[in-house]
A and B are shown apart, each in its own frame.
Chain A
Amino acid sequence: MAFKRDKKEEEDGGGNPFENIEKTSVLQEARAFNDTSVNPRKCTHILTKVLYLLNQGEILGTTEATEVFFAMTKLFQSKDVVLRRMVYLGIRELSSIAEDVIIVTSSLTKDMTGNEALYRAAAIRALCSITDVTMLQAIERYMKQAIVDKNPAVSSAALVSSLHLAKTAGELVKRWVNEAQEAFSSDNVMVQYHALGLMYHIRKTDRLAVIKLVSRLTKQGLKSPFAVCLLIRIACRLLEDDDSAPGTDSTLLSFIESCLRHKTELVIYEAAHAMVNLRRTTARELAPAVSVLQLFCSTSKPPLRFAAVRTLNQVAMSHPSAVTACNLDLENLITDSNRSIATLAITTLLKTGAESSVDRLMKQIASFVSEISDEFKIVVVQAIRALCTKFPRKHSVLMNFLSAMLRDEGGLDYKASIADTIITIIESNPEAKETGLAHLCEFIEDCEHTSLAVRILHLLGREGPKTKQPSRYIRFIYNRVILENAAVRGAAVAAMAQFGAQCPDLLENVQVLLARCQMDSDDEVRDRATYYYTILALSKRNLYNSYITESLQVSIPALEKSLHQYTLNASDTPFDMKSVPLAAVEPLVLENAPQKGAPEGTLLSTPAAPQRLGVSKEESALELLSNIPEFAPLLPQLGPIFRTSEPVELTESETEYVVRCIKHCFARHLLLQFDCLNTLSDQLLENVRVSLEPAEGYRILRELPIPKLPYNETCSAFCLLEFPEELTASTGTFGATLAYMVKDCDPATGLPDSDDGYDDTYMVEDVEVNLADQVQRVWKGNWAAAWEEAANLCELEDTYALTSMRSLQEASTNIVQFLGLQPADRSERVQEGKSSHTLYLAGVFRGGHDVLVRAKLALADGVTMQLTVRASNPDVAELVTSAVG
Chain B
Amino acid sequence: MGLFDKLVTLFGLRKQEVKVLVVGLNNSGKTTVLNHFKSEDDKSTEIVPTVGFNIEKFKNQNVGFTALDMSGQGRYRDLWEFYYKDCQGIIFVVDSSDRLRLAVVRHELDLLLQHPDVSSRALPILFLANKMDQRDALSSVKIASGLGLDRILDKPWHICASNAITGEGLEEGVTWFTQQVRQVGQPGNRPNRTGPLASGKNN
* Residues of A bordering B, CB below 8 Å: 34-37, 70, 73-74, 76-77, 100, 102-107, 109-110, 135, 138
Contacts and interface: CB of A to CB of B under 8 A. Distances in A.
Interface string B57-81: 1000000001001010000101100
Given A74-B86, A105-B52, 13 more contacts: A36-B12, A70-B82, A74-B83, A76-B55, A77-B66, A102-B52, A103-B52, A103-B53, A103-B76, A106-B54, A106-B69, A107-B52, A109-B51
Contact of B51 (A37, A70, A73, A102): A102
Contacts of B12: 36-37
9 contacts: A77-B66, A100-B79, A103-B52, A103-B53, A103-B82, A105-B51, A106-B52, A106-B69, A106-B71
Contacts of A37: 12, 17
Nearest to A103: B52
Given A36-B12, A36-B19, A37-B17, A106 B51 contact: yes
Nearest to B87: A36
A104 B69 CA distance: 11
B86 A36 contact: yes
B192 interface: no
A103 to B, nearest CB: 4
A105 B52 CA distance: 6
Contacts of A109: 51
B16 interface: no
Contact of A77 (B55, B76, B78): B55
B142 interface: no
B50 interface: yes
Contact of A34 (B50, B54, B76, B86): B86
How many chain B residues sit at the interface, stated as a range, is: 20 to 34
Given A37-B17, A77-B55, A103 B79 contact: yes
Contacts of A100: 78-79
Nearest to A76: B55
Contacts of A77: 19, 55, 57, 66
A107 B79 contact: no
A104 B55 contact: no
Nearest to A78: B55
A34 B19 CA distance: 12
Contacts of B88: 36
Contacts of B57: 77
A70 B82 CA distance: 7
Contacts of B53: 73, 103-104, 106-107
Contacts of B78: 100
Interface of B: 12, 17, 19, 50-55, 57, 66, 69, 71, 76, 78-79, 82-83, 85-86, 88
Contacts of B66: 77
Contacts of B71: 106
A107 B86 contact: no
A34 B117 CA distance: 14
B30 to A, nearest CB: 11
Q: Which 10 A-B pairs have the closest CB atoms?
A: A105-B51, A103-B52, A36-B12, A105-B52, A70-B82, A106-B54, A76-B55, A106-B51, A106-B50, A77-B55
A719 B88 CA distance: 70
A667 B102 CA distance: 66
A106 B49 CA distance: 9
Contact of A138 (B17, B51, B83, B86): B51
Given A36-B19, A77-B66, A104 B52 contact: yes
A135 B76 CA distance: 13
Query: Which residue of A35, A36, A37 has the most chain B CB atoms within 10 A of its CB atom?
Result: A36
A104 B52 CA distance: 5
B54 A110 contact: yes
A73 B85 CA distance: 14
B139 to A, nearest CB: 32
A35 B53 CA distance: 18
Nearest to B51: A105
A76 B83 CA distance: 13
Nearest to A130: B52
Contacts of A35: 86
Contacts of B83: 74
A799 B50 CA distance: 81
Nearest to B10: A36
A37 B12 CA distance: 7
A308 to B, nearest CB: 51
A73 B79 CA distance: 12
A37 B57 CA distance: 13
A431 B51 CA distance: 72
Nearest to A139: B51
Contact of A107 (B55, B76, B85): B55
B111 to A, nearest CB: 17
Query: Which residue of A70, A105, A106, A110 has the most chain B CB atoms within 10 A of its CB atom?
Result: A106
A74 B17 CA distance: 15
B3 to A, nearest CB: 19
Nearest to B49: A138
Contacts of B55: 76-77, 107
Nearest to A142: B48
Contacts of A36: 12, 17, 19, 86, 88
B23 to A, nearest CB: 14
Contacts of A104: 52-53
A73 B54 CA distance: 10
A463 B17 CA distance: 81
A107 B17 contact: no
B40 to A, nearest CB: 14
Contacts of A138: 51
Contacts of B82: 70, 73, 103
A134 to B, nearest CB: 9
A533 B62 CA distance: 92
A37 to B, nearest CB: 6
A35 B17 CA distance: 13
Nearest to B85: A34
Nearest to B18: A36
A34 B86 CA distance: 7
Contacts of A103: 52-53, 76, 79, 82
A77 B17 CA distance: 12
Nearest to A71: B82
A592 B12 CA distance: 65
Contacts of B69: 106
A138 B49 CA distance: 9
A73 B71 CA distance: 14
